[in-house]
Structure 1
């Protein structure tokens, strides 16, 4: 991860997977709702202690790894081709998506 948005996205994904509501996270971390929202949206350059607190509540561990190893942790590390959704395919290929009239 190299950007605040990537960190925020990872935290958001963990929050959604654990089905933790924003109010619960605010209560458990002691952060304000505004600070927490900014962190999860990648819009706030939050304190490291705040990131640690949120990560801990979401069952995540922050790690620093050498850059040479970081690529092995990326989503596409194994060289697998990315999966294209039907929406992405329709946007890429004109005419691939046809609207039908309702009877």
Structure 2
């Protein structure tokens, strides 16, 4: 699971990449510039809805994934970078589902 600090860093990196200052991002989200800065610098723990609003204005999406899928995404992102993200996610989900099904099938046959 990502830490709040890692999420804040990713949001801050995207803010910089888009060349938005804290004031502009604050206006877009309805927050104060100080709140935005504190969140993006990891000084405060925001509500999920606040993170969602900031991410949305930065063109990002917060996702909750099963840990096995997140682990697979991390492993695959290190190995390859060429295919588009969506097809890579689809493939990882399919592979993970196959592994989970195989593991569940193995558990059932052991007791027989």
Bin of the TM-score, shorter chain as denominator length: 0.5 to 0.7
Question: Where does residue 53 of structure 1 map in the other structure?
Answer: 53
Greater fraction of residues in helix: 2
**C-alpha separation between the residues in 2 aligned to 1:16 and 1:7?**
14
TM value normalised by structure 2:
0.63
Question: Where does residue 37 of structure 1 map in the other structure?
Answer: 37
Runs of 4+ in 1 over 6 A off after TM superposition: none
Number of aligned residue pairs: give it. 80
* Aligned partner of residue 74 in structure 1, secondary structure: helix
**Residue correspondence of structure 1 range 80-95 to structure 2 within 5 A:** none
* Aligned partner of residue 78 in structure 1, secondary structure: helix
**C-alpha separation between the residues in 2 aligned to 1:72 and 1:19?**
32
**Residue correspondence of structure 1 range 1-103 to structure 2 within 5 A:** 1-74=1-74, 77-79=77-79
**C-alpha separation between the residues in 2 aligned to 1:71 and 1:9?**
20
CA 1:37–1:66: 2 relative to 1, 3 Å: same
Higher relative contact order (CA 8 A, sep 6+): 1
Unaligned 5+ segments in structure 2 are: 81-112
TM value normalised by structure 1:
0.68
Unaligned 5+ segments in structure 1 are: 81-103
Tell me the C-alpha RMSD between the 2 structures.
2.0
How far apart are residue 41 of structure 1 and its match?
1.0
